[in-house]
Amino acid sequence: MADVALQPNRAAAQTARKRSSLHNALKRKSTVAFLMTLPLLLLIAALVIYPAFYAVHLATLNKSMQRFVGLSNFEFLFKRETFWLVVKQSCIFAITAVIFKAVLGFIIAHFVHNIPAKGQRKWRGMLLVPWVIPPAMSTLAWLWLFDPSYSAFNYTLSFFGIGPIPWTGDAMWARFSVILVNIWVGAPFFMIMYLAALKSVPEQLYEAAAIDGANWWQRIWYVTLPMMRNIIAITTLFSLIVTFANFDIVRILTAGGPLDQTHIFATWAFRIGIEGSDIPLGASVSLFMVPILAVAAIFILRDISKRGNEA
Amino acid sequence: MTTATIDKAAPTRKVKYGSMSRDRAWALRWSYFFLVIFAIFFLTPPIYMFITSLKSSAEISAATNPWWVFHPTLENYAGLLTSNQFLRFFWNSAIVSIFVVTITMLISVPAAFALSRMRFWGSATLATGVFLTYLIPETLLFIPLFKMFAVIGDWTGIQLINKWYVLLILYPTLTVPFCTWIMIGYFASIPKELDEAAVIDGASWLQTLTRIFIPVAFPGIIAATIFAFTVSWAQFLYPLVFTTSTDQLVMPVGIITSLIKGDVFNWGQIMTGALLGAAPPLIIYAFLMDYYIAGLTAGATKG
């Protein structure tokens, strides 16, 4: 009788203990933290890290993706003239665009910083508009401004006696156009970042420099630039990654033409991999972006950990 | 001799004082001058979009002054806003963006809280890793992802390619890492005493998050939401690769593939569509500019 009475009691005590240990585990900090980060980890693992390695695997297959061909996709690419054209154009595109974006952003940030504080908000708001409009939409406007027969730019330039410019028809001009549009989209981002950095430079430093008789150039060179070095470096590296991997602008403005002269890695990979349905070759092309991205990422990471240590 | 040098020095000093304030006035004038030039450069395309959107196709092909509208008409707007196809694009974009924003916030806010406050094994490395994934561009991943989804479709019979909801899986890869990163920054700036007080009062971790961290870091949450929305509204590559039938397209791709028919460009309608496509981010920006800019600068200045 007592035994019978005891049995369910013990069972109940056991389940209670089990429940409380599960309860404890759930209450433990590390378990809760792990559960909270789990969706993020799954997302990154399944949709970023796995595809990145899958791209390497794909790059070693033949066109029908049934046979392992090792590095022959890369060999094939190295022998193609278009590939070297794409490498050259990607580098020209990214480096020129980033330099001009950084310089323009720096200059505009200074001008905005110069004017009285109450007007700054208005100007800042106006100058950031190119960054806010979806690039695909604004590039359409540029395409229309560059239209071969109805170009509004050519209409305006004709008054100055400058002949019709083949904005997207001629290789050199098409290169210029895609870079121009990229600068137009990206310079406001630099402007905002540099403006934030300029605001964080203490006014006393400029006063001290002025007392020491520094002219405006010396003030920029010895005060502004050293104080902004971190922001300049991280913004430039970040923009280098984004510009190097750009797709929208080139795709819509020239689609790589004329004669593949303006293709960059992303658009050429799309042309080969999706439009030409040669997925392995397309994956090989896009993998060429990795080295430059990795270098930029390492520098950014070093900067972040350095600042983390300072804090 | 000495008096002569003093005489020479005195006026130069005076002139210098005068020139400093004059310099400043000129610097201001030049600043405004160049700002106007840059504003013209930056605002020409959107204004030209608007000008063209008010023109009939007859006026566009007549090649009159492109910078002026002689016979303003709303026929492009009327045409697009009554076209089922265009409304479908708009609807698809809206649904995708709203879902993506929700998914992003549900994933990134708890993760950011755990990574910034509940130090556990590898949490610092993980935070850096999250930032690194943000640096991986979508142009590197679209080909393997396309093949992955094709293989999944073959194996399980779940057809993901050419369905708008595939974008709900793809867009979070672009939004979640950055939103987590800026939320880590915002959460880290909340004083430790606040959550210690909550723990002493017997609040669980979840309560600490929902009762204290989310309300206190609300500006950060708005900034992250705006970022997630603008990214998912503007994304062009993924929908171009993964969706093709016209009833599955979102705004950017829809305008480009459906309004451009062969070599015939109906520029009045294209510009109207582009302007309407740019409108939601622009409206949000107009009203929430400070949050927008805070989110933009948070990525590099915080953390």
* Residue corresponding to tokens 């003093």: B6
Q: Kindly state whether A25 is in contact with chain B, defined as any CB-CB distance less than 8 angstroms.
A: no
For residue A187, the chain B residues in CB contact (below 8 A) are 42
- Who among A145, A188, A248 is closest to B48 (CB)? A145
For residue B180, the chain A residues in CB contact (below 8 A) are 40
Q: Do A274 and B135 touch (CB under 8 A)?
A: no
With a pLDDT cut of 70, the percent of chain B lying above it is 90
Rg (CA), chain B: 27
pLDDT given at position B13: 46
Q: Best residue in A61, A115, A133 to probe B by mutation, most B CBs within 10 Å?
A: A133
For residue A235, the chain B residues in CB contact (below 8 A) are 300
Q: Helix, strand, coil % (nearest 5) of chain A?
A: 80, 0, 20
For residue A43, the chain B residues in CB contact (below 8 A) are 107, 172-173, 176
**Closest chain B residue by Cα to residue A286:** B140
Question: Bigger pLDDT: B18 or A98?
Answer: A98
Q: Kindly state whether A219 is in contact with chain B, defined as any CB-CB distance less than 8 angstroms.
A: no
Q: Kindly state whether A167 is in contact with chain B, defined as any CB-CB distance less than 8 angstroms.
A: no
Q: Is A169 helix (H, G, I), strand (E, B) or coil?
A: coil
pLDDT given at position B20: 60
Q: Kindly state whether A183 is in contact with chain B, defined as any CB-CB distance less than 8 angstroms.
A: no
Question: Bigger pLDDT: B259 or A236?
Answer: A236
- Who among B177, B240, B277 is closest to A134 (CB)? B277
Q: Do B278 and A133 touch (CB under 8 A)?
A: yes
Q: What residue type is B156 in one-letter code? A: T
What is d(CA B96, CA B168) in angstroms, rounded to the nearest whole number? 6
Q: What is the DSSP string of chain B?
A: -HHHHHHHHHHHHHHHHHHHHHHHHHHHHHHHHHHHHHHHHHHHHHHHHHHHHTS-HHHHHTT--TT--SS---HHHHHHHT-HHHHHHHHHHHHHHHHHHHHHHHHHHHHHHHHHHS--TTHHHHHHHHHHHHHS-HHHHHHHHHHHHHHHHHHH----TTSTTHHHHHTHHHHHHHHHHHHHHHHHTS-HHHHHHHHHTT--HHHIIIIIIHHHTHHHHHHHHHHHHHHHHH--HHHHHH--SGGG--HHHHHHHHHEETTEE-HHHHHHHHHHHHHHHHHHHHHSHHHHHHHHHHHHH--
Q: Best residue in B17, B29, B42 to probe A by mutation, most A CBs within 10 Å?
A: B42
Using the predicted structure, report yes or no on whether residue B6 has a pLDDT greater than 60. no
Using the predicted structure, report yes or no on whether residue B66 has a pLDDT greater than 90. no
Q: What does the domain layout of chain A look like in residue ranges?
A: 24-58, 72-310
- Who among B65, B144, B275 is closest to A55 (CB)? B144
What is d(CA A280, CA B218) in angstroms, rounded to the nearest whole number? 45
Using the predicted structure, report yes or no on whether residue B239 has a pLDDT greater than 70. yes
CATH H superfamily, domain A72-310: MetI-like (1.10.3720.10)
pLDDT given at position B303: 32
CATH class of B82-301: mainly alpha
Q: What is the pLDDT of residues B74-126, one digit of tens each?
A: 888 888 888 888 888 899 999 999 999 999 999 999 888 888 887 777 777 88
For residue A145, the chain B residues in CB contact (below 8 A) are 44-45, 48
Average pLDDT, chain B: 82
Q: Kindly state whether A84 is in contact with chain B, defined as any CB-CB distance less than 8 angstroms.
A: no
**Closest chain B residue by Cα to residue A190:** B297
Q: Do A274 and B143 touch (CB under 8 A)?
A: yes
For residue B297, the chain A residues in CB contact (below 8 A) are 192-193, 196
pLDDT given at position B2: 43
Work out the minimum CA distance from A112 to partner chain B, whole angstroms: 7
What is d(CA B83, CA A44) in angstroms, rounded to the nearest whole number? 39
pLDDT given at position B5: 45
Q: What does the domain layout of chain B look like in residue ranges?
A: 2-53, 82-301
pLDDT given at position B263: 64
For residue A36, the chain B residues in CB contact (below 8 A) are 110-111, 113-114, 118
Q: Kindly state whether A214 is in contact with chain B, defined as any CB-CB distance less than 8 angstroms.
A: no
Please state which of the ranges A5-19, B52-66, B146-160 shows the lowest mean pLDDT.
A5-19
A-B C-beta contacts closer than 8 Å:
287
Interface predicted TM-score (ipTM) of this complex, two decimals: 0.83
The encoded tokens of residue A246 equal 């750009």
* DSSP one-letter code for A134: -
pLDDT given at position A6: 46
For residue B289, the chain A residues in CB contact (below 8 A) are 121, 125, 128
Check: CB of residue B248 under 8 Å from CB of residue B32.
Answer: no
Using the predicted structure, report yes or no on whether residue B9 has a pLDDT greater than 50. no
pLDDT given at position A22: 61
Q: Is A285 helix (H, G, I), strand (E, B) or coil?
A: helix
What is d(CA A186, CA A93) in angstroms, rounded to the nearest whole number? 13
Question: Bigger pLDDT: B13 or A174?
Answer: A174
- Per-residue pLDDT tens, chain A, 311 aa: give them: 444 444 545 555 555 555 566 666 666 777 778 888 888 889 988 888 899 888 888 888 877 777 777 777 888 888 888 888 888 888 889 889 999 999 999 989 888 888 887 888 888 888 888 988 999 999 989 988 888 777 778 888 888 877 787 887 788 888 899 999 999 998 998 888 888 888 888 888 888 888 887 777 888 888 888 888 878 888 888 888 888 888 888 888 888 778 888 888 888 889 888 888 888 888 888 888 888 888 888 887 777 666 655 44
For residue B267, the chain A residues in CB contact (below 8 A) are 144, 147, 150
Q: Do B140 and A43 touch (CB under 8 A)?
A: no
Q: Do A136 and B252 touch (CB under 8 A)?
A: yes
Please state which of the ranges A9-18, B9-18, B61-70 shows the lowest mean pLDDT.
B9-18
The encoded tokens of residue B129 equal 């890793």
What is d(CA A207, CA A226) in angstroms, rounded to the nearest whole number? 16
What separation in angstroms does the CA of B185 have from each of A1, A258, B117, B128? 64, 45, 11, 12
**Closest chain A residue by Cα to residue B24:** A114
Tell me the average pLDDT across B199-204. 82
What is d(CA B185, CA B192) in angstroms, rounded to the nearest whole number? 14
Q: Kindly state whether A298 is in contact with chain B, defined as any CB-CB distance less than 8 angstroms.
A: no
